[in-house]
Structure 1
Amino acid sequence: MSLKEIPIFKGTRIQPYFKHIDFMFAGVFSIIFLVYRVYQLIQGYQSKYQTFEVAEVYYYFKPHFLYLVIGCLVIFIVAKLIAQLLFRFKEKDLAEMIETQGFHNRTVTQKRTEFLDIDIKKTEYDYYPTLFYKRGRKKFILHIKKDGSRFQDHYLELESIIEPMFNCELVEKKHIGRYLRYEFMPLKYKKRIVMNGQQKNNIVDYDTKIYITRQIVWDFVKAPHALITGITGGGKTYFLFYIIRELFRRKAEIRLLDPKVSDLSFMKRVIGADKVADTKGQILKQLREANEEMESRFRLMNESEAYKIGNDFRNFDLKPFFIVFDEVTAFTSTLDKKDLQEMNDYLINIIMKGRQAGVFMFLTAQRPDADVIKGNVRDQLGLRVSLGNLSSDGYRMTFGQTDKDFQPIHESDIGRGYITILGQYNDPVLFDAPLMEQYDFVEDVKQILNKKDD
């Protein structure tokens, strides 16, 4: 552990009285108002009277008493509303979370006053967690001490409480000495890409990075191949259109396989019938030709005198070659055992070997059955996305074994889901796919293809 990682300043330590911080905030302003007005009244009294007499002071202050009370009350209410609506003190929420979750030991003693016949309760905390909160520009950080208490297991999985509580997302979780550091980003800062026809459709040479959101970038060379899963109406098709559009901008060779003859088949009129397959024979032919393209690229690179260890397709001016296979699991149900084995052989070969040759597989499915996308193959898929609500088995088959507590996604949040990118987001993170409601995909692709031909 380096010195830079030692959390010297961890932020504000959460205290039990923080659950009343909005009252304290409002009370400070009320007291300031009261002190200021009393000071003004004293100044006025001294300018009017030369001597200090109790009766004169009483009659001078009496008409202002009700005004002071009402003024302090108004200031208190306004300041408390501001604290609740604008500042939204996370310190208060964290203190209340500790209280309601029971992460403490406390003793409540009851005492009777000597002069008044009333009982006074006094609370003393025998144990209270060491939790620090630090606000950032577009994030906030929590440090919690691993103190060996009976609550420590809960501290190790604190994101399951914090994420839905603050409508945020865990960005990083790191053990630093005796502390566990959580970094969260509020979802309001996750900028969604909106496709409205005004985006640049210029050609980009040798750019392998595609922006999924304003913050999330997929480099299809560093994290090759992809799997997109999701329920019907979850936004899977629009996300696929966006990726295809971005691949065309990068001069990629694209083959579209659409066994359901639905969303991608119409692209025959745009990119040519030879690049779109929607029957069993055509789909197996495209997979076989993609496999042959990969092998021929390997021969070209290995036989070249310019080849060096670590070179890939970009060093030989080869275009990325993408096979976009829509609803792959639906296609497998139509195959006999021989054809299924042939298809699986092509998929496995390309996914295992294709990155260096620039041949990539992009799969979509409503449910990624393990019979089609086996665990060892799924682990080689650099980009994995789920859109909409999936079952626990669906999430497991998409992302593998994970301790992620997936938040429910409302049916109106079309395009919202979870994403992992190899080497960047190894645990699923919540995201919003590009919004494409007011966007003409076909016309945009035609313009891109025309520019590519020029």
Structure 2
Amino acid sequence: MIPSSIKLDQYSIPIQGSTGALIVGKPGSGKSVLVSYLMLQLMSIGAFPLIFDTKRSDFFSLRYVFHDTFSIENSVTSTKSVEKGQICSTPGQVAKLLRQLTELMNQRYEHHQAHWGWDWINYKLRPIVVVFDEFSATLSEADKKTANEIINYLKQIIFKGRQMGGIYLILASQRLTADVLERNISSEFSTRIGMQNLDRVSLSLAFPGCDLNEIPVVENIPGHGLIYNDLFNTLIPQPFITPDMSHVNVPKVFKHLIVRNDVNNFTCEDYWPW
């Protein structure tokens, strides 16, 4: 059976029935370290990674891992892995991959209706982890048509993907405003995280329904933050500390998990686009 949750500090973060995690934090707050940790945790249970990094920074550099991994046995596979958009560096590529992801989600609903109440875990469908680094920067770079396309596909995945999608979206942004992400979308994220001390606008969007005066004060240290999950028995976000990743070679672990997960026991899906 596929695990239904992952661990973060003292908290169990459900992935079954979950849309994903919304992470907000200023530069230097430890946001990227946390995203890396969550990505590797999900890949460790077999999740297939898709990465959006239009700032072309750390996560974009993982494209070299695909090349190094596959070129050993098949240089053609290596080229195709990048061409198919597993790692995106432009808003246009992001929009295209989100369209493919939405189509996959719809195919899963169409092909798995035999058992009432079953979800992607029951059907043993391979989970997908989507790392969307600096969401606001991507929208600011995109033209209006592409930005609208990105948001529209995200809405479909967020509102529809809980049961059969098997898609866990990690969306990270430096700052949240209603112009960047509508409140009704941000509130749909099952897990919401604020790194270090955020401004009140970002706090209100990250933790809607919570009295800002009740939010705990956290240490203004990278890696410290507040976390809320739909299954917590309180509306008040709780303090947490990101695990120490200083000793972890992220590209090396990423490569190991790519190779290990290439052979798996997930249900074969003829419509799988990658």
Shorter-chain TM range is 0.7 to 0.9
1:194-343 map, 5 Å: 206-213=2-9, 215-271=10-66, 272-273=81-82, 274-302=85-113, 307-343=114-150
Is residue 391 from structure 1 mapped to residue 187 from structure 2 by the alignment?
no
Taking the aligned partners of 1:234 and 1:225, their CA distance within structure 2 comes to 20
- TM-aligned CA deviation for residue 407 of structure 1: 4.3
Taking the aligned partners of 2:259 and 2:215, their CA distance within structure 1 comes to 43
TM-score, normalised to structure 2, is 0.84
Q: State the AA in 2 paired with 1:240.
A: V
Taking the aligned partners of 1:297 and 1:222, their CA distance within structure 2 comes to 15
Taking the aligned partners of 1:338 and 1:448, their CA distance within structure 2 comes to 36
TM-score, normalised to structure 1, is 0.51
Taking the aligned partners of 1:449 and 1:330, their CA distance within structure 2 comes to 28
Question: Is the alpha carbon distance of 1:216 and 1:338 closer, same or farther for their aligned partners in structure 2, counting shifts above 3 Å?
Answer: same
Taking the aligned partners of 2:32 and 2:148, their CA distance within structure 1 comes to 27
- What residue ranges of structure 1 are gaps of 5+ in the alignment? 1-204
Taking the aligned partners of 2:258 and 2:117, their CA distance within structure 1 comes to 31
Q: Is the contact between residue 228 and residue 365 of structure 1 (CA under 8 Å) also seen in structure 2?
A: yes
- TM-aligned CA deviation for residue 414 of structure 1: 1.5
Question: Is the alpha carbon distance of 1:453 and 1:323 closer, same or farther for their aligned partners in structure 2, counting shifts above 3 Å?
Answer: closer
Taking the aligned partners of 2:143 and 2:243, their CA distance within structure 1 comes to 38
Q: Which has the higher helix share?
A: 1
Is residue 374 from structure 1 mapped to residue 185 from structure 2 by the alignment?
no
Equivalent residue of 2:236, what SS? strand
Q: Is the contact between residue 223 and residue 423 of structure 1 (CA under 8 Å) also seen in structure 2?
A: no
- TM-aligned CA deviation for residue 449 of structure 1: 2.7
Taking the aligned partners of 2:3 and 2:252, their CA distance within structure 1 comes to 23
Taking the aligned partners of 1:344 and 1:441, their CA distance within structure 2 comes to 29
Equivalent residue of 1:373, what SS? coil
Alpha-carbon RMSD across the aligned residues, in angstroms, is 1.7
Q: Is the contact between residue 91 and residue 146 of structure 2 (CA under 8 Å) also seen in structure 1?
A: no
The structure having more radius of gyration, on CA atoms, is 1
Q: State the AA in 2 paired with 1:352.
A: F
Equivalent residue of 1:284, what SS? helix
Equivalent residue of 2:162, what SS? helix
Is residue 432 from structure 1 mapped to residue 227 from structure 2 by the alignment?
no
Taking the aligned partners of 2:167 and 2:259, their CA distance within structure 1 comes to 24
The structure, 1 or 2, with the larger RCO (C-alpha pairs under 8 Å, 6+ apart) is 2
Superposed CA offset, 1:395-415 (max 9, x none): 11111131243444444x220
Superposed CA offset, 1:300-346 (max 9, x none): 113xxxx2221111222211122221111111112232222211110
**Percent identity over paired residues:** 29
- TM-aligned CA deviation for residue 381 of structure 1: 0.4
Q: State the AA in 1 paired with 2:86.
A: K
Taking the aligned partners of 2:150 and 2:227, their CA distance within structure 1 comes to 26
* Alignment coverage as a number of residue pairs: 244
Q: Is the contact between residue 39 and residue 129 of structure 2 (CA under 8 Å) also seen in structure 1?
A: no
- TM-aligned CA deviation for residue 391 of structure 1: 0.9
Is residue 451 from structure 1 mapped to residue 247 from structure 2 by the alignment?
no
Is residue 416 from structure 1 mapped to residue 212 from structure 2 by the alignment?
no
- What residue ranges of structure 2 are gaps of 5+ in the alignment? 67-80, 264-274
Taking the aligned partners of 2:219 and 2:128, their CA distance within structure 1 comes to 36
Taking the aligned partners of 1:319 and 1:352, their CA distance within structure 2 comes to 19
